[in-house]
């Protein structure tokens, strides 16, 4: 085998490796379930107005499920979540993406939280 044949073989192997690396996301897709969007680990933030929970039906839905809703200043959020038993409201919207609801306010923005009644 001559040096030209060895060079051609090495270039072919390296080209194949580069092609696998370049198209890896498409190749890996062969082994993942089809028709399912990738799961979102963290909820996205949706900036809403003060009346959004009642106007969207979210308030009625969560009250029917036994929750009380409130807006919480972000400066007080850790206390409410860690010490007082509240949870951040996270709902999957029409697209299936987990979403938390935020309100622009002063002196700090607010987050919609919920607590089980009773």
Q: What DSSP line would sit under 29-95, residue for residue?
A: GGGSPTT-PPPPSSPEEEE--TTHHHHHTHHHHHHHTTEEEEEEEGGGHHHHHHTS--EE-EEE-TT
Same domain for 30 and 64, yes or no, is: no
Per-residue pLDDT at 9: 86
Let me know if residue 17 belongs to a domain: yes
Residue-wise pLDDT for 14-43, tens only, equals 888 887 777 777 767 666 666 555 555 789
Global model pTM greater than 0.75: no
Residue 6 belongs to domain spanning = 1-34
Confidence bin at 83 (pLDDT 50/70/90): very high
CB 74 within 8 A of CB 109: yes
CB atoms under 10 Å from CB of 76, counted, come to: 15
Per-residue pLDDT at 14: 84
Same domain for 8 and 50, yes or no, is: no
For 89-100, letters b (16+ CB in 10 Å) and e give bebeeeeeeebb
Residue-wise pLDDT for 44-77, tens only, equals 999 999 999 999 999 999 999 999 999 999 999 9
Q: Which two tokens stand for residue 24?
A: 């890896």
Q: How many domains does the chain have?
A: 2
CB 113 within 8 A of CB 80: yes
Let me know if residue 74 belongs to a domain: yes
Let me know if residue 63 belongs to a domain: yes
Let me know if residue 39 belongs to a domain: no
């Amino acid at each position: 085998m001559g040096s030209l044949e060895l060079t051609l073989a090495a270039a072919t192997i390296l080209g194949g490796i580069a092609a696998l690396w370049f198209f890896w996301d498409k190749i890996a897709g062969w082994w993942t379930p089809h028709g399912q969007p990738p799961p979102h680990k963290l909820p996205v933030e949706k900036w809403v107005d003060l009346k959004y929970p009642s106007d969207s039906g979210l308030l009625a839905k969560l009250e029917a499920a036994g929750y009380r809703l409130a807006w919480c200043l972000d400066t007080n959020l850790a206390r409410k979540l860690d010490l007082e038993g509240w949870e951040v409201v996270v709902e999957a919207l029409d697209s299936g993406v987990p979403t938390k609801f935020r309100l622009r306010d002063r002196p700090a923005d607010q987050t919609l939280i919920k607590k089980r009644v009773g």
